[in-house]
């Protein structure tokens, strides 16, 4: 396996050939390539290739996912998703990096980027200004405004 297939990511991957119909959860630490029909989840810790002749009914998860066939289900690509000219996706997509070739079909919600919470956290100086601006028109005591915002301050400021 050759290194043992069961001990990590160094073994062989899984290939579902063009004349294979498979049902169940197909999970592999290594690459998965699908050219036939899969009814169920497809999950790899590396790459997943959905070939032109492939039809997948179920969620697909992997680091790098390439779709040239048809997927009916949610796709989660932790690194990159590439949808080739012949690719058809009916389901939501979650990925950091998305490439869609001309001719491909996407039908579903696309979510990209995972750094949203960090980007929303404002700089402490900016926040203090906002607090001051907000406090003035309301004519409220400064201590009350501070108390409301305290949980959002960094430990240094506290």
Partner 1 sequence: MYYYVLESPSTRGVRQNYQRLRDILTHLGIAGEIVTSSPARTPAEQAYIGTTKGYSTIVAVGGDAHINEVAMATIGRAVLGIIPIDASRQVTELIGASDMKSAAEALKHRRISLQDTVLIDPDLPLFLNAAIQTSKLAKVSLVIDNKVRAHAYFNELVVTRSLEVKIRSTYVAEKRKILGLFSVGGEQIASESSFHGKQIKIITDPPMPLMVGENKMADSPLTLRLVPESLKVITKRGTVLE
Q: How far is the CB of 52 from partner 1 (least distance, A)?
A: 13
How many residues of this chain bind partner 1 (CB under 8 A)?
A: 26
Return the residue of 25, 111, 150, 154 that touches partner 1, per CB under 8 A. 25
Residue 40 engages partner 1 in binding (rule: CB under 8 A): yes
Residue 52 engages partner 1 in binding (rule: CB under 8 A): no
For residue 55, list its beta bridge partners.
37, 70
Residue 60 engages partner 1 in binding (rule: CB under 8 A): no
How long is the chain?
Answer: 158
HSE (CB half, 13 Å, CA atoms) of 128? 5
Return the residue of 10, 21, 96, 109 that touches partner 1, per CB under 8 A. 21
Shorter beta-carbon distance to partner 1: residue 7 or 79: 7
Return the residue of 8, 10, 12, 132 that touches partner 1, per CB under 8 A. 12
Residue 15 engages partner 1 in binding (rule: CB under 8 A): yes
Beta carbons of 133 and 127 less than 8 angstroms apart: no
Calpha distance 136→126 (Å, rounded): 16
Kindly indicate which of the ranges 22-30, 57-65, 99-107, 108-116 contains the residues binding partner 1, using the contact rule CB under 8 A: 22-30
Q: Any idea of the CA torsion for 103, 50, 107, 76, to the nearest 10 degrees? A: -130
Secondary structure of residue 134 in the 3-state scheme: helix
CB count within 10 Å of CB 126 equals 9
- Among 46, 53, 51, which residue's Cα sits nearest to residue 66? 51
Task: Give Cα 62 to chain centroid, integer Å.
Answer: 9
Return the residue of 10, 18, 99, 121 that touches partner 1, per CB under 8 A. 18
Q: How far is the CB of 34 from partner 1 (least distance, A)?
A: 10
What is the contact surface with partner 1 in residues (CB under 8 A)? 1-2, 4-7, 11-27, 35-36, 40
């Amino acid at each position: 396996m050759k290194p043992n297939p069961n001990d990590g990511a160094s073994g062989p991957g899984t290939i579902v050939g063009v004349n294979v119909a498979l049902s169940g959860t197909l999970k592999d630490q290594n690459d998965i390539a699908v050219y036939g029909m899969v009814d169920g989840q497809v999950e790899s810790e590396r790459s997943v290739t959905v070939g032109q002749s492939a039809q997948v009914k179920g969620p697909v998860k992997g680091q790098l996912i390439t779709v040239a066939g048809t997927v009916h289900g949610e796709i989660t690509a932790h690194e990159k998703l590439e949808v080739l000219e012949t690719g058809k996706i009916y389901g939501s997509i979650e990925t950091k990096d998305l490439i869609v070739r001309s001719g491909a079909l996407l039908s579903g919600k696309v979510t990209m980027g995972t750094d949203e919470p960090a980007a929303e956290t404002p700089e402490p100086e900016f926040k203090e200004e906002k607090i001051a601006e907000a406090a003035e028109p309301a004519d409220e005591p400064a201590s009350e405004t501070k108390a409301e915002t305290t949980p959002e301050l960094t430990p240094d400021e506290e």
